[in-house]
Amino acid sequence: MAERLNTTPTKLLEVRGLTRTFTSRNGLFGKKRVMTAVADVNLDVPRGQVTGVVGESGCGKSTLARLVLRLLEADQGQVLFEGVDLASLSASAMRRLRQRLQFVFQDPYSSIDPRYTIRAALLEPSLVQGEKLSTQAATERINSLMAMVGLNPSLAQSYPHQLSGGQKQRIGIARALALQPAFLVLDEPTASLDVSIQAQIIALLEKLRQELGLTYLFISHDLGLVRYFCDRIVVMYLGRIVEVLPSADTPPRHPYTIALMESTFEPDPTKRRIITRLSGEIPDAFNPPPGCAYAARCPHASDRCRSERPALVQQDGHELACHHPPT
Amino acid sequence: MPLLTVRHLCVSIGHLQPLDGITLEVDKGQILGVVGESGSGKSLTAMAIMGLLPLIGGAISAGSICFDGTELVGLDERAYRAMRGQRLALITQNPMTSLDPMRTVGAQIDQVALLHLGLSAAQARARTLELLGQLRIPDAATVYQQYPHQMSGGMKQRIVIAMALAGDPDLIVADEPTTALDVTIQAQIIQILVDLVHQRGLALILITHDMGVVAQACDKVVVLYGGRVAESNTVQNIFAKPGHPYTRALIGCIAQTGQVRGSLKGIPGVVPSVADFASGCRYHPRCDHAQARCQSEVPLLQANNAGQVACLFPEGERRG
């Protein structure tokens, strides 16, 4: 049964208390170890906007992306799409709803079956949905999808290995658009591409968002790109949200977000930074520290930070989890 | 005379010629950025300087690589081997391929000093621990005994840098040393490299596709496109007044703070492969200033704004 909750219409998607753990074993008879990849994440995705999730490897952003589309099942918490709890849907109802929720993967090299032609790859979503298309209708569909992502329709007869990385990522986007979705999760869609091609793909995503009225959840490790492309920015560290910036130009207050910002190099030699404050690496997720996960790297950390985890507190739309935000 | 001078370097692999007249210079205490998209010839330039082309079936077909008064083109393998490690060092993009998974990292760094500096085992170990400390590796004695799989990517890249430094080289070629790393770790590694160059008076060739890294770290820049030099200049001039449309386009691929959404354009088209380089100026199919002459006439590298540019209609001289 789909549960309908009271939500304001501006939120397309809501994430409530989402948690997911993974277990691992040291060898066959070793001790079981548990790591929490995503811990108690709450997130609103407003309709028509780009919500960015930023953080470094291991921060749980890709796990979150998969949980949001139920490609992974959550241990706890809910994902509400237009007020409907996705976990409450049967497999067939979820499959039908997937028309509206689509995913663009990081690696276009491995997300397209090498034995499929581009045409077959783009028709697969309608096949899965049980849609019957005449050959002519299929060709029209392919041509319009290819045009939408700026590719020559003649490429539809090619195989993935005949395309460049940028062309493959355009196919990945075209396939996500094949069923006319409302919401796309973009998991580092440009991370494996050259900068010149990365900028092309971002421009394409922006054009599609405006033309089709799409809503994006944009996952990235690149704060510079996120600040350029996103309306709101969610910063994750070791599985938790540490800061939510209500707009791209909100000055960050969490020391980790500030460090991320200082690590982003501007293409301008007059704005060189001196990197002195950054040290250390992300802690072991199997053995997280008791307090603030960032304390070991933080220049402002106190004893309180090392023992007590700061709660995420909202003020004027700006959410922050820090005991001593620098003023 | 600069420490390294590369003149009109051409490299062939079979019947293909992926490098066509590369010219660059780097001196002690300097960081030279070599930038371009994948396929522009950055890594081949690095391999040519390191004398590693035979590994991929390539050969230098013309030009010269002069290092501290010695011509490296045509140097026999034995002499090159003496150069590598001790005078020239290479840092590769993927630290995993540079490290032996079966040996502790300490032993691997020691080996460089044992081979090239003729130190005793104890001396080599002391030197390695000192190097690890200089690279801001906490608890160096523990790290010394670890295997590569026990380390994070950023730590492995530091070990590779330590290996490069172990022979006390004069020139380090770093081929995309931070591409596989997280941004905060990238910032640390770039800062470490910049500090090393200034403290030790090393010459560093930093190969990257990221104009942000270039702006942050480099003193001079060579922009490559399709195996040719498009432009070379000081980092200030390259960013303040790019002469080549490709340089301008590359800079425009990275979002600046406060940049309005929708204004980032990228470079249209795709990077050509060596088998289908365009005639004339190789960039003309993607260039928004291309004219008829660009299709047939190869632009030569000529003086421009205190640097050099290979464009028939360089920025500043262009009309309309």
Closest C-alpha to B13, from B47, B57, B52: B57
Which residues partner with B4 through β-bridges? B26, B67
Cα distances (angstroms) measured from residue A317 to each of A219, A234, A243, A314, B213: 20, 12, 11, 6, 33
What mean pLDDT is predicted for residues A221-232?
93
**What is the nearest CA distance from A249 to chain B, expressed in angstroms?**
7
B-chain residues within 8 Å CB-CB of A170?
A: none
CA separation for the pair A317, A246 (Å, rounded)? 6
Which residues partner with A85 through β-bridges? A80
Task: Name the residue among B136, B253, B265 with its Cβ closest to that of A279.
Answer: B136
pLDDT at residue number A7: 44
Listed by number, the residues of chain A in 145-164 with a beta carbon closer than 8 Å to a beta carbon of chain B are 164
**What is the nearest CA distance from B232 to chain A, expressed in angstroms?**
15
The secondary structure of B183-250, three-state, reads HHHHHHHHHHHHHHHHHHCCEEEEEECCHHHHHHHCCEEEEEECCEEEEEEEHHHHHHCCCCHHHHHH
Judged by a CB distance cut-off of 8 A, whether residue A284 touches chain B is no
pLDDT at residue number B79: 93
Contact at CB, A195 and B262, closer than 8 angstroms:
no
Closest C-alpha to B208, from B84, B56, B93, B49: B93
- pLDDT category, A131, cuts 50, 70, 90? confident
Contact at CB, B191 and A194, closer than 8 angstroms:
no
A-chain residues within 8 Å CB-CB of B155?
A: 281
Sequence-distant (6+) residues with CB within 8 A of B227 are B17, B18, B19, B20, B22, B40, B41, B44, B274, B277, B282
pLDDT (tens digit, 9 = 90+) per residue, A60-117?
A: 999 999 999 999 999 999 999 999 999 999 999 999 999 999 999 988 778 888 999 9
Contact at CB, A200 and B209, closer than 8 angstroms:
no
Listed by number, the residues of chain B in 102-131 with a beta carbon closer than 8 Å to a beta carbon of chain A are none
pLDDT at residue number B1: 85
What mean pLDDT is predicted for residues A7-35?
84
Contact at CB, A267 and B254, closer than 8 angstroms:
yes
The answer on pLDDT for A256 being more than 50 is yes
Contact at CB, B215 and A269, closer than 8 angstroms:
yes
CA separation for the pair A263, B225 (Å, rounded)? 28
The answer on pLDDT for A284 being more than 70 is yes
Q: What is the mean pLDDT of chain A?
A: 90
Judged by a CB distance cut-off of 8 A, whether residue B268 touches chain A is yes
Could you state, in order of their start, the residue ranges of all structural domains in chain A?
A: 11-100+181-320
The answer on pLDDT for A34 being more than 50 is yes
The answer on pLDDT for A172 being more than 70 is yes
pLDDT (tens digit, 9 = 90+) per residue, B187-204?
A: 888 998 999 999 999 999
CA separation for the pair B262, B251 (Å, rounded)? 16
Cα distances (angstroms) measured from residue B144 to each of A282, B98, B157, B168, B197: 21, 16, 14, 19, 24
Judged by a CB distance cut-off of 8 A, whether residue A26 touches chain B is no
A-chain residues within 8 Å CB-CB of B215?
A: 265-269, 271-272
pLDDT at residue number B303: 94
pLDDT at residue number A276: 62
- Selected for mutation to probe chain A from B193, B257, B271 (highest A CB count within 10 Å) is B257
CA separation for the pair B231, B244 (Å, rounded)? 6
Q: How many CB atoms lie within 10 A of CB A32?
A: 8
Listed by number, the residues of chain B in 178-207 with a beta carbon closer than 8 Å to a beta carbon of chain A are 182-188, 190-191
B-chain residues within 8 Å CB-CB of A273?
A: 187, 216
pLDDT at residue number A278: 57
Which residue would you say has higher pLDDT here, B184 or A154? Answer: A154
CA dihedral A63, A65, A68, A74 (to 10 degrees): 0
**What is the nearest CA distance from A191 to chain B, expressed in angstroms?**
10
What angle do helix axes A135-148 and A165-177 make, rounded to 10 degrees? 120
CA separation for the pair B249, A153 (Å, rounded)? 27
Contact A70, A47 (CB under 8 A): no
Task: Name the residue among B216, B255, B268 with its Cβ closest to that of A224.
Answer: B255
DSSP string, chain B: --SEEEEEEEEEETTEEEEEEEEEEE-TT-EEEEE--TTSSHHHHHHHHHT-GGGGTEEEEEEEEEETTEE-TT--HHHHHHHBTTTEEEE-S-HHHHS-TTS-HHHHHHHHHHHHH---HHHHHHHHHHHHHHTT-SSHHHHHT--GGGS-HHHHHHHHHHHHHHT--SEEEEESTTTTS-HHHHHHHHHHHHHHHHHH--EEEEEES-HHHHHHH-SEEEEEETTEEEEEEEHHHHHHS--SHHHHHHHTTSPPTTPPTT-----SS-PPPGGGPPSSSTTGGG-TT--HHHHHPPPPPEEETTEEE--SS-TTT---
Judged by a CB distance cut-off of 8 A, whether residue A286 touches chain B is no
Contact at CB, A272 and B236, closer than 8 angstroms:
no
Which residues partner with B12 through β-bridges? B59
CA separation for the pair B291, B98 (Å, rounded)? 45
Q: Which residues of chain B have pLDDT under 50?
A: 319-320
Domain A11-100+181-320 class in CATH: alpha beta
For B33, the token pair is 């950025």
- Selected for mutation to probe chain B from A109, A151, A161, A194 (highest B CB count within 10 Å) is A194
Spell out the domains of chain B, with CATH numbers in brackets. Answer: 4-87+169-309 (3.40.50.300)
Task: Name the residue among B182, B215, B218 with its Cβ closest to that of A221.
Answer: B182
Closest C-alpha to A242, from A227, A254, A251: A254
